[in-house]
């Protein structure tokens, strides 16, 4: 399977930027994140699969979901990743909660996409900070140990360690 982003319209994806340039409120952050999320669905990546048809090899073009990343969100917003991290550490609790909410959305999209086989699960598990370690014993018995390590941003990697009571900021209807 060959994955390319050769569609002329999708080639413009990298040039797209958020409408707003200053992110001083939670509403600004959530609005920019919503724009980004909409664009990832509007501009999919395409896969070209070969098929035989009447003795000829033809390729079918199939759109697949574009994986969201914090780095791509930052590119879209026109800010650095370090600036994003500072927003997450803001003393304004609404801004910090909005950042955590957006990060949770991106995490869930990548995790779900990998679980569904849309994304490469090995790449996504590394990106999310998940790891699997196989330990072989001398007796010939295979032991599989799943070892969770903390994600790069300090989130717990084990879904069971995540808190359900994290505040979820409201997304305004006028976005």
Please write the tens of the pLDDT for every residue from 79-124. 999 999 999 999 999 999 999 999 999 988 888 888 888 777 777 7
Q: In 89-172, where does DSSP find H-type helix?
A: 93-115, 121-128
Q: What is the pLDDT of residues 62-82, one digit of tens each?
A: 888 888 999 999 999 999 999
**Residue where the block lists tokens 């295979």:** 142
φ, ψ for residue 21, nearest 5 deg: -105, -20
Please say whether the beta carbons of 87 and 99 come within 8 A.
Answer: yes
- DSSP category for residue 159: G
Domain boundaries, the chain: 2-117
Question: What CATH number does domain 2-117 carry, 3.40.470.10, 3.40.50.720, 1.10.132.80, 3.40.630.30?
Answer: 1.10.132.80
Instruction: Measure the N-to-C terminal CA separation of the chain; round to a whole number of Å.
Output: 37
């Amino acid at each position: 399977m060959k994955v390319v982003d050769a569609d002329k319209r999708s080639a413009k994806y990298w040039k797209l930027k958020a409408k707003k340039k200053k992110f001083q409120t939670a509403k600004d952050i959530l609005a920019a994140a919503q724009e980004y999320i909409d664009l990832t669905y509007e501009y999919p990546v395409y896969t070209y699969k070969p098929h035989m048809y009447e003795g000829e090899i033809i390729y079918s073009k199939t759109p697949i979901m574009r994986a969201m990343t914090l780095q791509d969100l930052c590119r879209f917003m026109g800010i650095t990743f370090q600036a994003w991290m500072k927003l997450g550490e803001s003393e304004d609790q609404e801004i910090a909660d909005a950042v955590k909410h957006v990060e949770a959305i991106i995490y869930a999209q990548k995790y779900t996409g990998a679980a569904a086989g849309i994304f490469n699960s090995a790449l996504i598990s590394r990106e999310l900070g998940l790891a699997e370690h196989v330990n072989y014993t001398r007796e010939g018995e295979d032991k599989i140990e799943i070892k969770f390590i903390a994600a790069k941003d300090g989130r717990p990697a084990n879904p069971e360690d995540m808190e359900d009571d994290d505040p979820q900021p409201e997304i305004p209807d006028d976005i």
